[in-house]
Amino acid sequence: MQALLTQPFLVSLLFGAVTAGLPLLLAGLGEQISEKAGVMNIGLEGMMLIGAYTGFLATYTTGSFWLGFLAGGVGGMCAALIVLFLCIRKGLNQIVIGIAITVGAEGLTSLLHYVEFSRSYPRLSAAPVFALPLLSRIPVLGKGLFSHNPLVYLCAILVAALTWLFRSTYLGISLEAAGNKPAALDAAGVDVIATRSFAVLCTGFLAGVGGAYLANVGAGLFVPFITGGAGVIGIVLAMLARGRPLWVLIGAALFGASLAMTTALQVAGINVPTDVVQMLPFAVVMLVLVIFARNSMLPAALGLPYVRGER
Amino acid sequence: MSVETGIHSGRSAALLRVLIPVVMALIVGGLILTVLGKNPLDYYGYVLQRSLMRWGGAQETLTRMAPLLLIAAGLIVAFRAGIWNLGGDGQFLLAAVASAALAPALLSTHVPRAATLIVCMLVGSLVGALWSLLPAWLKARHGVNEIITTLMMSFLGTSLANVLIKLVLNDPDTTVPQTRSLPVDDRLPRLFGTTIHCGLVLAILAVILVHLMMTRTAFGLKLQVLGANRAAAVHAGLKVERLTLLAFALSAGLIGLGGAVEVLGVWGTVRADWNPALGLLVVPLVFLARFNGYAVIGFTLFFSALLVGGESAARRVGVPQHYVLVLVALLLLFLALVEYLDQTRRKPGTA
């Protein structure tokens, strides 16, 4: 156990947890916005994958990481447009379309990667790091938590901003109503379809940025299927968090830490099968659910299309 | 029921509802290939040739249907009962690993081949069903959303399958971690001198039986009531908790049987990190067939041909293997769209 408490181990664990957890956080927060508004986004994984590709492409061609995040967000939004038109406006089945988006994104990004990069397999240079003044000088914590790409700090602010938005703004209440009692929102004179459309575009943007971070900062390259289930974990996090952004953050940290654990253990010279460590967060969450089993309190109209005047 | 007229009448309409999206998906997919400078007709030609026109390919297409059909049968039970069992991959893999490890072990203790195969299939179903027990209990007892729990159990199951193969059930004689291989002669019997194993017959039977059970029996009706309106089911005096547990067990058991059949019939062993990830791919097929067992068989045949033919066609034309996923996604989108257009035309004014 002594070997586990050394500085390099703890630093690599913390640093890795943030790097691996950030895409999960962004995807989870995005999904949360949709779910609040009553839209179930099973296509989250596909949105991340599209964002990862467009983000990588933008950073590779321009060299700018910020443009990469932006392009990732726009890519995710493009995928979200499919949900917007087919599920929200036309009321098609959200699960079928969601799976179509994920499967289609897997195929399309594989195809584009094959055409563009399969001979060169380019890598990006290391992403810029911004060390927070003072905080980054704290031993262990400084290098682990406060010396990251600036996007990380923006996301911390985003969690606080979303908490405030959900709780005390007109928009937040509208989102909640669109998910719980869309007819009431409609009667109050707010456009349910527009509210849900806005929510889904936000989801696409955040998931896309998360995918871009995963490819550009986490891996430094794009390979097909790079998201490897991150979107599905994002859906799980959003559902477990019951509408509270802070809980998405906690969950993302837990899952990020377990993803980082294997690398950190290798740094410490301990060889544990990856699979065992990766089972841990899921096992913990299942255990918590069994012990404190309660209704997951999802919005009443989750997954149901809204058709005006239909009961 | 209103009288249907025009193109909506009967079978020709049902056929059109499938044909139009298929043609649309093939056209758009072909456009994508053309943009990339490949000849779409070559690609489609190879797919057709490889998957259906040649006897060898056709046999492979039919063999590939067996696990897909069993997963579909499991999903029909769950979805009709209003249960979102999205954890198929974990249930499928653990069942595959269990039966793959058990079969050589039983044979080496001189259990007859037939008994071994039957026991292994039963154990596979049991393992699948057991892996759904926790989500089932949480749903039945506490109303915990099963989408999260089945997805999590699926991640847990795929990891656990790998751990079992790498640490417990591995064959010491191989370098890549895998279970002890089942000799070809001891796998599921082949049908009439073909390479198609009898799991296909089992799978088709399972889909038809499930369809009849859900539509013609009292038990099926109870599950459908549960699916249509949980509160109404409680009100009608149905034992909702028990029905939920049973529906979960049946669904996951059939998916587990799919894993066992795939391993006992085709592979004979499970390698570490093997995950065909069929669980989510079958979900849309079941939806598009409107939970109808007979329609599922047709969709599965088409899907299976696309998977089998797509792999070799991609190599020949020079696109990645996963291009076939683009076609699958386009097909889903167009099928859903046509379905929507059809519905709005039937009852004008509501959409």
Condensed to tens digits (0 to 9), the pLDDT of residues B80-114 reads: 998 989 889 999 999 999 999 999 888 888 888 88
Query: How would you class B193 by CB atoms within 10 Å of its CB: exposed for 0-12, middle for 13-18, buried for 19 or more?
Result: exposed
**pLDDT over threshold 90, residue A73:** yes
Closest-CA distance of chain B to residue A309, Å: 9
At residue A4 the predicted structure's pLDDT band, cuts being 50, 70 and 90, is: low
pLDDT on residue A307? 76
**pLDDT over threshold 60, residue B349:** no
What average pLDDT score do residues B147-162 get?
89
pLDDT, greater one: A256 or A309: A256
Three-state secondary structure call for residue B190: strand
pLDDT on residue B317? 83
Distance CA A232, CA A241 (A): 14
pLDDT on residue A127? 78
Chain A contact probe: residue of B280, B331, B337, B350 with most A CBs at under 10 A: B280
What average pLDDT score do residues B165-170 get?
82
Q: Which residue of A has its CA nearest to B340?
A: A92
At residue A310 the predicted structure's pLDDT band, cuts being 50, 70 and 90, is: low
Three-state secondary structure call for residue B90: helix
pLDDT on residue A169? 92
pLDDT on residue B348? 57
Query: How would you class A309 by CB atoms within 10 Å of its CB: exposed for 0-12, middle for 13-18, buried for 19 or more?
Result: exposed
Distance CA A245, CA A238 (A): 8
pTM: 0.87
What class does CATH assign to A2-128+149-291? mainly alpha
CA B48 to chain centre: 22
pLDDT on residue B170? 77
Report ipTM for this prediction: 0.84
pLDDT on residue B7? 41
**pLDDT over threshold 80, residue A300:** no
Beta-strand relationship, A130-131 and A147-148: antiparallel
**What percent of chain A has pLDDT above 90?**
41
Q: The tokens of B42 are what?
A: 């070559």
Three-state secondary structure call for residue B257: helix
Q: A289-303, B117-131, B270-284: which has the minimum mean pLDDT? A: A289-303
- Domain ranges across chain A: 2-128+149-291
Q: Where are the beta strands (DSSP E) in B177-287?
A: none
pLDDT on residue B350? 46
Nearest Cα residue to B63 out of B184, B194, B185: B194
**pLDDT over threshold 70, residue A168:** yes
pLDDT on residue B335? 83
Distance CA A150, CA B224 (A): 52
At residue B205 the predicted structure's pLDDT band, cuts being 50, 70 and 90, is: very high
B152 shares contact with chain A (CB less than 8 Å): yes
Helices and strands (H, E) in chain A, number of each type: 12, 2
Nearest Cα residue to B341 out of B13, B56, B5: B13
Find chain B residues with C-beta within 8 A of A283's C-beta.
156
Condensed to tens digits (0 to 9), the pLDDT of residues A226-250 reads: 888 889 889 888 988 888 999 999 9
Average pLDDT in chain B: 86
Within 13 Å and on the Cβ side, how many CA atoms surround B348? 1
Q: The tokens of B61 are what?
A: 């297409």
- Domain ranges across chain B: 67-292
Find chain A residues with C-beta within 8 A of B328's C-beta.
100, 103-104, 107
b/e A180-193 (16+ beta carbons within 10 angstroms → b): bbbeebbeeebebb
**pLDDT over threshold 50, residue B1:** no
Place of tokens 């989102």: A175
Condensed to tens digits (0 to 9), the pLDDT of residues B2-31 reads: 434 444 456 777 778 778 888 898 899 999
**Range of A44-58, A172-186, A271-285, B31-45 with top mean pLDDT:** A44-58
What average pLDDT score do residues B132-155 get?
87
The answer to whether A112 and B33 are in contact (CB under 8 A) is: no
Chain B contact probe: residue of A31, A84, A110 with most B CBs at under 10 A: A110
